[in-house]
Structure 1
């Protein structure tokens, strides 16, 4: 897990790189809970855990490579993102109904995705969603 403080204690970012292993979803969920508890954002834990499970679960279920979960808080909102090695759009032709994305769409304040190509041979996609700060 890598932590980068960008502009102070209210802005932070963590990235958890995981192997292609379904058990990684539970480990990521546990790590997410600890991060949000540490940063005094317990009101985000339930929704963030659900969304992280969907995003990372899809990354592991529909690809054969490693994945990563990124958490970023900018003082107002939490952005969760999952990177995987497949550049195919989420909910593509091999995913019937894209149930998890319907769940993400219903629970998140915003979500989206983009292809990743670093030029160094690393490719794939990044699917993200955002939750507003809990009261």
Structure 2
């Protein structure tokens, strides 16, 4: 793990398709493997997979049939702080945490995000919505939901 610059950020566009989640996960892992601890990287990859997967399943694509994936890394005295952000065309309703039956095949994605991230939320504008998750070593993991827009 290297220290590098104080802040780094990336933005990629992936297909609004299951392959988009795979591409986003691999790109994130490649970019941050030498920058963040392995346990944090595993959490980031898991949350990004859920965010992109939810965008593909529950939201419309952005123009061009894509989803925008961005992440920002800031070095702090307590360790790296990372924000993941997935922007899509929005859906009929915003993200909602569901109660999944024990044998249900889906319905746990936002619970996974809330359990791994320090906080997460949704922002809406005229073009669609962004769902974001932050990982802050100084903050306790909480299931805060922030909705703006």
Pairwise same-fold verdict (TM > 0.5): yes
**2:115 pairs with 1:106:** yes
Alignment TM-score, normalising by the size of structure 2: 0.71
Task: Decide which structure has the larger Cα Rg and report it.
Answer: 2
Alignment TM-score, normalising by the size of structure 1: 0.78
Alignment counterpart, residue 83 of structure 1, candidates 87, 90, 95: 87
What secondary structure is seen at the aligned counterpart in 2 of 1:60? Answer: helix
What secondary structure is seen at the aligned counterpart in 2 of 1:75? Answer: strand
User: How many matched pairs?
Assistant: 119
Q: Find runs of 4+ consecutive structure 1 residues off by over 4 angstroms.
A: 95-98
Unpaired segments of 5 or more residues in structure 2? 101-106, 139-149
d(CA) in 2 for partners of 1:50 and 1:75? 21
d(CA) in 2 for partners of 1:133 and 1:10? 15
Unpaired segments of 5 or more residues in structure 1? 1-7, 118-122
1:1-135 equivalence runs, <5 A: 9-38=5-34, 40-43=35-38, 44-65=40-61, 66-76=66-76, 77-86=81-90, 88-91=93-96, 98-117=107-126, 123-133=127-137
- Tell me the C-alpha RMSD between the 2 structures: 2.2
